[in-house]
Amino acid sequence: MASFELGGSLPVNRIGYGTMRLAAAPEPGYDAGMGHIWRAPADREAAIAVLRRAVELGVNLIDTADSYALGENEELVAEALHPYRDDVVIATKVGVVRPSPTEWVPLGHPAYLRQQAELGLRRLKLDHIDLLQLHRVDPHVPLEDQIGALRQLVDEGKVRHIGLSEVGVDELRAAQEITPITSVQNMYNLGARQHEDVVDYTAAQGIAFIPFFPVAMGAHAAADGPLAAVAAELGATTAQTSLAWLLRRADNILPIPGTTSIAHLEENIAATAVRLSDAQFERLSAIAPVSVDA
């Protein structure tokens, strides 16, 4: 499996695993889109099996967040994988509060960010966090205060690298003036390409770009669409072809597809063996993206 050096010092294989989907069914009265990721999964053993299988298959970038199931997701990662294999990189996020199943509210007060990092260290059973990401920039707190809080954690030896999530190039540049930035995690896939400029900028800077929701959905994954046609030519699934397009798009892209199924996990990881020809890559790149608000 091809690899990328995160922060110039942590080699990670280019398909990671995002843990957001490891959650219980939606709360009563809430739809699946908004009322999810609120509690740990009822079938804890199945979730643990998926995490362990991911590492067995060579996945060594595991992405979580303090806001997933109010911290229970981080605890689940530790239950499954601690003590961690030497090459496993744990990434988590701080900076979003969850007052209810439907609310994701940015909160970038420096003391809060530092507290959540401390709680993450405890829940994950770590003495330092490999990659701590600002989950969202809080528009009500100066950026230098938010990034400064994360930099303080680096200086204290509690965090190794700093990342950002859902930012544009201007925000990324501003953060870089304060401290080195190792990664950007934005929504990006074949059908949602509103962050093309961020992909290009991070690639030029040697910064990892970690797309969440990396598999094309909706019309782009239709059985009669161009993605399906290319997948058929390759003898691959549409999900594998979506991931192969990302891997080909730029060498710094590290998709983190999430799943609760070991079969789907194995399918996703097998995408590293799918090779698009130049013509196939261009055909897929020519697909009109959907309009998505960042």
Instruction: Output the CA torsion 6→123→47→32 (10° steps).
Output: -90
Residue 246 C-beta-side C-alpha neighbours within 13 Å:
35
**Which ranges constitute the DSSP H helices of the chain?**
44-56, 72-81, 110-124, 143-155, 169-176, 196-205, 226-234, 238-249, 262-269, 278-285
| Catalytic residue (choose from 17, 30, 68, 201) | 68
What is the rounded distance in angstroms from the CA atom of residue 39 to the CA atom of residue 230?
Answer: 38
pLDDT at 293: 45
Q: Of 85, 78, 80, give the one whose Cα is nearest residue 124.
A: 78
What structural domains does the chain harbor? 3-209+250-255 (3.20.20.100)
Is position 68 annotated as part of the catalytic site? yes
Q: What is the pLDDT tens value at each position of the chain, 294 positions in all?
A: 799 999 999 999 999 999 999 999 888 877 766 568 999 999 999 999 999 999 999 999 999 999 999 999 999 999 999 999 999 999 999 999 999 999 999 999 999 999 999 999 999 999 999 999 999 999 999 999 999 999 999 999 999 999 999 999 999 999 999 999 999 999 999 999 999 999 999 999 999 999 999 997 777 778 888 999 999 999 999 999 999 999 999 999 999 999 999 999 999 999 999 999 999 999 999 988 875 543
Q: What is the pLDDT of residue 34?
A: 57
Query: Residue 12 in 3-state DSSP?
Result: strand
